[in-house]
Amino acid sequence: MDSVWAFGGGAAVTLLCGGGGMVLWLLPALRARLRRELGELLRREAEVAAKEQLYRDREALARQTEEGRAEIKELEDRCRVREDALDRRAEALEERERALSAQEAVLKTAQAQLAVREGEVARTEAKHLRELERVSELRREEAEHVLLERVERELAEETEVLIGRAEAELREGIEHRARDLLLTAVQRSSLAHVRDSMVSVVPLPNDELKGLLIGRDGRNVRTFEEQAGVDLLIDDTPGVVVVSGFDPVRREVARRALTRLIEEGRIHPPRIEAVIAETRQDLEAAVEDYGRQACVQLGLPLQGRVVTQLGRLQFVSAGGQNALQHAVEVGQLTGGLAAELGLDADLARRCGLLHDLGKGVAATSGQSAASAGAQLAARLGEDPIVVNAIAAATGEAEPSSPYAVLVHVANRISAERPGARQGQLEVAIRRRAELENLALRHAGVRKALAVQAGRELRVIVDPYKVSDKAAQKLAREIARELEQAPAGPGPVKVSVIRELRHEEFVS
């Protein structure tokens, strides 16, 4: 047993020794193989990295190529626009040259005819002179005097004929050119023409809010109408409430306040008064934004108080036409006409935009819109050319520059364009303003509101200055004055409201 184990153990040692030698013998080969595989792996990684870099370079090159193409296309478009503008300018100059050439040709023809006629007259004069000296034996000086008087009469008659013919031809050419200029300027004006309405529609999330808007015994709707100075029309029309009023400022305040009350859901008299007061302040702050938007539309860098005064025109209407939109339209037309005539287009647009600046202050100054606007522009430091253009926009002052003439023409085009204004609406608005002004002339009147399409005049008085008996007397006086005033569309109800409040605070 021991011998067998000894033999087996020796064999095992031999195998182990032989296996170790085999491993030592294969180790260099394995190392070489690993080196080759590692080199192959590194080579492949290098190829992959190179391909990725190539791909990134191609993408970058493609992006650069695309950006270059976009820049080239943009430059081509800008060049094309510039070429078109230059072509139009060149065509206009060529047309002016042709017109001047035609006028020059007419004048040359008239001069040639006049020269021929003068030659004939000279020959006739010499002939008559010889004949007179021979027949009447007058002295030379006396004969010349007689002939000169006769020739002067003949020349005056023929000169008037030639001048009249040349003036007619020139007038025809000028009128044709003026029509072309006006058509070009009107076509370039792209302002939307929207006539102001006297109502604003406020959507409701549900019809249940109508009862909340009316309130108990109608207190909410009465408070809203008294504070906002408008009519609130709540009927069976689903999902909407209509705000009616002739004053665009009051109507916009009422629309915004009503929208805010609906969103909040808190609708009661104290909250209504607070929201309307806050909305009125917010709207005054937004006036400058309207003026700035108008300046941006025309590309004019106006700043300061003039922008604020311009923004007030958003809430002024003339014949149903929004005054600010009308001013922007006149600015566009004036700029287009000035560009066609080779004048300063920016200055022309400035004159046109500010031509109705006085409409925002004319009601309180007692002056016409043109006069008030010219004085306001002068106080704000505007150029004298702009001031004169404002004063002459409606023909109240003589124009001192071609810009004033262009503003007058553009103003007439905008105002007399079909559909721009509505005469009956202007009459109705003026009638309601007259009703309110009539009531405001009385002492103790704090506010006057013409509502119900002008059929009711609500007069709110100061309770500390007007007693109950004085309020009754005031209502009769206003009614009597309305009877003596020019007749309006139907009877007018005069309501004098005297409300006295007592407030106490508990700490």
Q: Where in the chain is the domain with CATH 3.30.1370.10?
A: 199-285
- Which range among 69-73, 125-129, 281-285 has the greatest average pLDDT? 69-73
Q: Where in the chain is the domain with CATH 3.30.300.30?
A: 434-497
Give the ranges where 189-312 is alpha helix by DSSP (H): 209-214, 219-228, 248-264, 269-298, 305-311
Which of helix, strand or coil describes residue 238? coil
What residue has token string 């309207």? 290
**What DSSP letter does each residue of 359-389 carry, written as one string?**
GGTHHHHSS-HHHHHHHHHHHTT--HHHHHH
DSSP codes joined into one string, 112-154? HHHHHHHHHHHHHHHHHHHHHHHHT---HHHHHHHHHHHHHHH
- pLDDT tens, residue by residue, 7-25: 444 444 444 445 556 767 7
DSSP 417: S
C-alpha to C-alpha distance for 352 and 404, rounded to whole angstroms: 9
* Residue 149: predicted pLDDT: 76
CB 243 within 8 A of CB 232: yes
480, 445 Cβ separation under 8 angstroms: no
DSSP 444: T
Q: Identity (one letter) of the amino acid at 33? A: R
> What gap in Å lies between CA 449 and CA 251, rounded to an integer?
12
Distance CA 214, CA 222 (A): 8
Neighbouring C-beta atoms of residue 29, cutoff 10 Å: 9
Question: In whole angstroms, what separates CA 247 from the centre of its chain?
Answer: 21
Task: Give the mean pLDDT of 156-184.
Answer: 68
Six-digit token string for 142: 């006396």
Beta bridge partners of 449: 458
Question: For 215-225, how does the pLDDT look when each residue is reduced to its tens digit (9 = 90+)?
Answer: 888 889 889 98
Q: Is 301 helix (H, G, I), strand (E, B) or coil?
A: coil
pLDDT digits (tens, 9 = 90+) for 122-162: 888 787 777 766 656 555 666 667 667 777 777 777 777 77
Lowest mean pLDDT among 99-103, 179-183, 304-308: 179-183
Q: Where in the chain is the domain with CATH 1.10.3210.10?
A: 289-424
Average pLDDT on 252-264 reads 90
Flag whether pLDDT at 275 surpasses 90.
yes
The reported pTM is 0.46
pLDDT of residue 175: 61
Q: How far is CA 114 from CA 98, 126, 158, 225, in A?
A: 24, 18, 9, 79
CATH top-level class of 434-497: alpha beta
Q: What is the per-residue pLDDT for 302?
A: 86
Summarize the confidence of residues 97-110 as an average pLDDT: 87
Token representation of residue 24 = 């030592």
Tokens at residue 148, please?
């000169």
> How far apart, in Å, are the Cα atoms of 91 and each of 85, 86, 100?
10, 8, 14
The predicted pLDDT at position 271 comes to 92
Question: Shortest CA distance to 178 belongs to which of 390, 376, 494, 413?
Answer: 413
Confidence bin at 366 (pLDDT 50/70/90): low
- Share the mean pLDDT of the chain: 79
234 vs 214: CA distance, rounded Å: 8
199-285: CATH topology is Ribosomal Protein S8; Chain: A, domain 1 (3.30.1370)
- pLDDT band at 259, cuts 50/70/90? very high
Residue, of 59 and 413, whose pLDDT is higher: 59
Percentage of the chain beyond pLDDT 70 is 79
The pLDDT > 90 percentage for the chain reads: 5
For 469-477, what is the mean pLDDT? 87
Containing 446, the helix (H) or strand (E) segment is strand 445-451
All residues at 6 or more sequence positions from 251 whose CB lies less than 8 Å from its CB, including other chains: 198, 199, 200, 230, 243, 244, 245
- Higher-confidence residue of 162 and 34: namely 34
The Cα–Cα gap between 170 and 99 comes to: 9
- Angle made by CA atoms 136, 141, 144, in degrees to the nearest 5: 80
- Topology of domain 289-424 in CATH is Hypothetical protein af1432 (1.10.3210)
Give 470-474 contacts, CB < 8 A, sequence gap 24+.
470/444, 471/496, 471/498, 472/496, 474/442, 474/444, 474/445
Six-digit token string for 17: 């020794």
Residue pair 346/313 in contact (Cβ under 8 Å)? The answer is no
Angle between helices 248-264 and 269-298 (to 10 degrees): 120
How confident is the model at residue 197, as a pLDDT? 57
